[in-house]
Structure 1
Amino acid sequence: MSELPDRRLLLVHAHPDDETINNGVTMARYVAEGAAVTLITCTLGEEGEVLVPDLEHLAADQTDQLGEHRIGELAAAMAELGVTDHRWLGSAGKYRDTGMIYNDKGNAAVPLETRKDSFWQADLLAAADDLVPVIREVRPQVLVTYDEYGNYGHPDHIKAHRVATYAAALAAAPSYREDLGEAWDIAKIYWIAMAESRMRESLRRLREAGDTTTFEGMDPDGPMGPPITPDRLIDCVIDGDEFLDRKMNAMKAHATQITVDGPFFALSNNNGNQVWASESYRLVKGTAAPGPDGLEHDLFAGL
């Protein structure tokens, strides 16, 4: 086996753009520090909305070429962040974007009908077996993925959580599928989180600036719901002001999904970009090594 970098980070995401929105600063930081950063994306995001009028024909209900287009967007975003090891789960397009609906509570949910090739319908063990050899090859000390709710209920995010969790357990078992490589136990597993205090502060600034449509229905002083994590449950915060430009440029690379004058950038403009420079995590496996403020500021802390 060739010699591996001292620090190795694996991220498992559902669609192109999820990685940049949630972890763009984190990825850019660790690339800059010389760590190995591997991104696994589970679907091509074929069911996404197309926000560029000239590209509306790519949508799933028209030519259905959005997934192929988003391969290029993700490549451009990864070039901005400096990530050179990006892979699709199994192979590009093996698992189809499931799409989502909003339920009567306003949360993302599984569509009433899903395609047989959708990620949601994929056999859990078969999908995990596509990730196990990557874990055993890359041998990451840290894995980042979603929580059990997929952070906001999207079925593909939930499935990515399940696949990553199952694959991590299977990869650590020496007697499981020896043909998939030598066993590797990931030391620390984190779930992506949006800190409650930061979200409330951001909402407050938006409302004070006269914006009532971004995150419509959310009250800065009201209940936050499952996508928002109470601060007491946050274990690690990566602050990366110096990498913020890279993150914003990577977000712009996902042009069909994020509009420069849309809520993401409106939020950044009204918050001095601070909301995007800070990325929060919950530690769900491993031992935390917090600093004086009670938080980690390095995913590899203690290793």
Structure 2
Amino acid sequence: MTTTPQPPQPPDEPDRTPEGAAGAGTLGRDPLEVAADAVDDAAGALQPEELAAMERLDQPRRVLFVHAHPDDESIGNGLTIARYAAAGAGVTLLTATRGEQGEVIPAELAGLGPDELAEHRTRELAAATEALGVDDHRFLTRPDGSGYRDSGMVWLAPGVAGTGEDLDPRALTAADVEEVAERVAEVVREVRPQVVVTYEPGGGYGHPDHVRVAEATRRALVLAAGDRHDGSVPWQVAKVYETVQPESLTRAALRALAAAGLADVPDPDGPLPSVVVPDEEVTTAVDGAEHVAAKLAALRAHASQVTVDLEGREPVMRLSNRVPQPVLPVEHFRLVHGVASGPFDDAGRETDLFAGVAL
């Protein structure tokens, strides 16, 4: 097809472009103003969720935290989440289940059924994320749009969990890991984080849902970076971290708790859960001293699962097994993908998850 060029309009004549056509009313206007109007028009045509996605991508630093249940984000990463949210980074929290099988601590909540507990814990999570400053929280969904359910667990030893009985077919660990990974990958491609944080392979203390989330997240990052046939844009994450605790610090904290006469303190010289790793494996230490109050508020929001004791020299939290865990002002990580970059602390550890990331 060919077209006949139209003669240019004299510069002193009004713009004759028909109303509604591209470029209408633009003659003589500031090009930057015209461009801004075009962006506004395009944004106005978007659905609210599409507009929110665009706004998230406007944030130059983006981090995704992937967790299994409500409360895991506050226990493991509360300081770090609060620090980056307060600094203006785009913080997305992805929670795999609603914690239907959680072991309830308060007696007044002991009669809640699984679905009632899920609703209760969802409300707790909303309060906790508000305390931490998170404005982008989402639950992982199954391919049919429903949610994955808590797989349950049993305590095998102080601080160590294992698989429970009577697994629900809708449970996270009943699903194929490839299916779960693909669902996580969809979030990664949408959010486009430079940094992802999740559990180490043992899931912190052996909870089967934690183990599944760790496994599925590692696979999801491979899927997210690959070519797609559905039109979604691949995304390569720059840095991936596992939440860990240095062995020397953990044993020292246990000795201090034992010396303070607290009950149910594990043997400071005995076996420790998988979240505790040799000091040399800890690559990163995030100082969250200014955000301890936010973490404590988030922990207290999860009252069905966590108790917080503020009476001692340092705040202490306990899960349903009653084992005391100090709430320290620093959270530690192991970098498993990417390059560790300065600034470094006196122990040679990174102090910023985004260190070295090209923004």
Q: Is the 8 A contact 1:206 1:270 kept in 2?
A: no
Between the aligned partners of 1:241 and 1:80, the Cα distance in structure 2 is: 15
1:286 alignment partner in structure 2: 338
Distance 1:180 1:43, change over 3 A: farther
2:205 paired residue among 145, 152, 170:
152
Q: Does 1:139 align with 2:192?
A: yes
The alpha-carbon deviation at position 230 of structure 1 amounts to 1.2
Q: Is the 8 A contact 2:204 2:273 kept in 1?
A: no
Distance 1:241 1:104, change over 3 A: closer
2:306 paired residue among 258, 269, 282:
258
The alpha-carbon deviation at position 106 of structure 1 amounts to 7.5
Distance 1:34 1:281, change over 3 A: same
Q: Please give the residue correspondences for 1:292-303 in structure 2 after superposition, counting only pairs within 5 Å.
A: 293=346, 294-303=348-357
Q: Is the 8 A contact 2:159 2:205 kept in 1?
A: no
Q: Is the 8 A contact 2:159 2:273 kept in 1?
A: no
SS of the equivalent of 2:206 reads coil
1:236 alignment partner in structure 2: 284
Query: Which whole-Å deviations, capped at 9, do the CAs of 1:189-237 have from their partners, x for residues lacking one?
Result: 0000022122112111111111131x4xx22234435331111100001
SS of the equivalent of 1:39 reads strand
1:197 paired residue among 248, 259, 280:
248
SS of the equivalent of 1:284 reads strand
Deviates more, 1:33-42 or 1:114-123: 114-123
Distance 1:245 1:68, change over 3 A: same
Between the aligned partners of 2:177 and 2:312, the Cα distance in structure 1 is: 38
Distance 1:69 1:274, change over 3 A: closer
Q: Does 1:21 align with 2:75?
A: yes
Between the aligned partners of 2:168 and 2:259, the Cα distance in structure 1 is: 43
2:236 alignment partner in structure 1: 185
Q: Is the 8 A contact 2:205 2:273 kept in 1?
A: no
The alpha-carbon deviation at position 270 of structure 1 amounts to 6.6
Could you list the runs of 5+ residues in structure 2 that have no partner in the other structure?
Answer: 1-52, 318-324
> Which amino acid in the other structure matches residue 98 of structure 2?
L
Say which structure, 1 or 2, has more relative contact order (CA 8 Å, 6+ apart).
1
Between the aligned partners of 2:162 and 2:313, the Cα distance in structure 1 is: 25
Identical positions, percent: 45
What TM-score, normalized by structure 1, do the two folds share? 0.89
Query: Which whole-Å deviations, capped at 9, do the CAs of 1:56-107 have from their partners, x for residues lacking one?
Result: 22143xxx41011111000000000110000000178611100012347983
> Which amino acid in the other structure matches residue 286 of structure 2?
I
Q: How many residues are matched? A: 292
2:178 paired residue among 117, 120, 125:
125
Q: Please give the residue correspondences for 1:1-303 in structure 2 after superposition, counting only pairs within 5 Å.
A: 2=54, 3-60=57-114, 64-90=115-141, 94-103=147-156, 107-174=160-227, 177-179=228-230, 181-213=232-264, 215=265, 218-261=266-309, 268-269=314-315, 275-290=327-342, 291=344, 293=346, 294-303=348-357
SS of the equivalent of 1:152 reads helix
Between the aligned partners of 2:60 and 2:251, the Cα distance in structure 1 is: 37
Query: Which whole-Å deviations, capped at 9, do the CAs of 1:144-191 have from their partners, x for residues lacking one?
Result: 0011111111000001011111111100012xx332610000010000
Between the aligned partners of 2:231 and 2:132, the Cα distance in structure 1 is: 30
The alpha-carbon deviation at position 249 of structure 1 amounts to 0.3
SS of the equivalent of 1:246 reads helix
What TM-score, normalized by structure 2, do the two folds share? 0.76
Between the aligned partners of 1:99 and 1:249, the Cα distance in structure 2 is: 26
> Which amino acid in the other structure matches residue 334 of structure 2?
R
The alpha-carbon deviation at position 113 of structure 1 amounts to 3.3
The alpha-carbon deviation at position 274 of structure 1 amounts to 6.9
